[in-house]
Amino acid sequence: RPFKRNQTAHKMQAFATPEQAFHEALKAKGGVDLGTSIMACRFNGGVVCGSDSRTSTGSYVANRITDKLTQLTPNIYVCRSGSSADTQILSDYVRYFLEMHSLELDNRCSVYTAAHMLGDLAYQYKEQMQTSFLVAGVDSTGPHIFCVPLGSPVIEEPWSIGGSGSSYIYGHCDATYRENMTQDECIQFVTNALSLAMQRDGSSGGVIRLAVMTNDFKVERRLITDPPSFSRASTACKTARRRLGLLSPPALSPSLVFLPRFPLFVVSAPGRAARSP
């Protein structure tokens, strides 16, 4: 018992500063987690995948403009959730293997091949890594979406969601999804679902990044800096931020990246002057 108390005191003394304590906790945790919201949906001419842009480490937001959509081939994207380092290294390996595979075939790789290759690697290191993926793309057989969750099963679905924010929007997606949607309807469906997840999930936020892949093997990337709001309080907050110049929908300015989510003002009572917090 005395040894444990001395050991604890030694650790507290060694990591007395907040910076040292943060890095030690990050090391013990195993890396930066992507508390996230990712989604992919198929329409009658291709597939749309999207994600938020917040990378969190517990309650600390490590990055507000992360790109969680990684291009494996010119016609296949993967949405990443889980440990940031683990998902990045697996995606890099799969991209390399798919490049070699396409050179051997002298043809485009199929989405089925990319998903199962990623699932095999994730299963091989399932004890060391914490990963979850959505593989979406188009090939000669049309658009496909494969879900590769924890445990690494590979499941094909017409639409799929993942990440910490997905638990808030399953009912919305079940009630809203329709087969054979047009491209614009599918984009709106994915955007609304991710916006709802970002409003409820504290680990999701920032902007919405989309990748639209069509059957003619064209890829379009979109950035939505002003996601739609569905609650009265959120709409009022966003309106106030826009009036103060803290929110500019046309472009993502560098100053927006580090601004707090809520406006920095206090509404004063009648007869009193407003004070800055």
More confident residue, 251 or 84: 84
Res. 57 pLDDT band, cuts 50 70 90: confident
CB < 8 Å & 24+ apart, contacts of 227-234? 227/191, 227/194, 227/195, 227/198, 228/191, 228/192, 228/195, 229/195, 229/199, 230/192, 230/195, 230/196, 230/199, 231/199, 234/199
Give 96's DSSP letter: H
**Most confident by average pLDDT, 24-28, 58-62, 230-234, 236-240:** 58-62
Query: What is the three-class DSSP state of 113?
Result: helix
More confident residue, 16 or 150: 150
For residues 4-22, give the mean pLDDT.
Answer: 44
| pLDDT in the model for residue 260 | 41
pLDDT higher than 50, residue 110: yes
Task: Output the average pLDDT for the chain.
Answer: 80
| pLDDT in the model for residue 274 | 43
pLDDT higher than 80, residue 8: no
pLDDT higher than 90, residue 169: yes
User: Which residues are known catalytic residues?
Assistant: 36
| pLDDT in the model for residue 48 | 98
pLDDT higher than 60, residue 91: yes
CA 159 vs. chain centroid, Å, equals 16
For residues 58-71, give the mean pLDDT.
Answer: 88
State the Cα–Cα distance between residues 214 and 136, nearest whole angstrom. 11
More confident residue, 67 or 277: 67
Cβ-contact 227, 193 below 8 angstroms: no
| pLDDT in the model for residue 254 | 40
pTM of the complete model? 0.73
pLDDT higher than 70, residue 257: no
| pLDDT in the model for residue 244 | 63
For residues 90-118, give the mean pLDDT.
Answer: 95
| pLDDT in the model for residue 191 | 97
pLDDT digits (tens, 9 = 90+) for 260-271: 443 433 333 444
pLDDT higher than 70, residue 194: yes
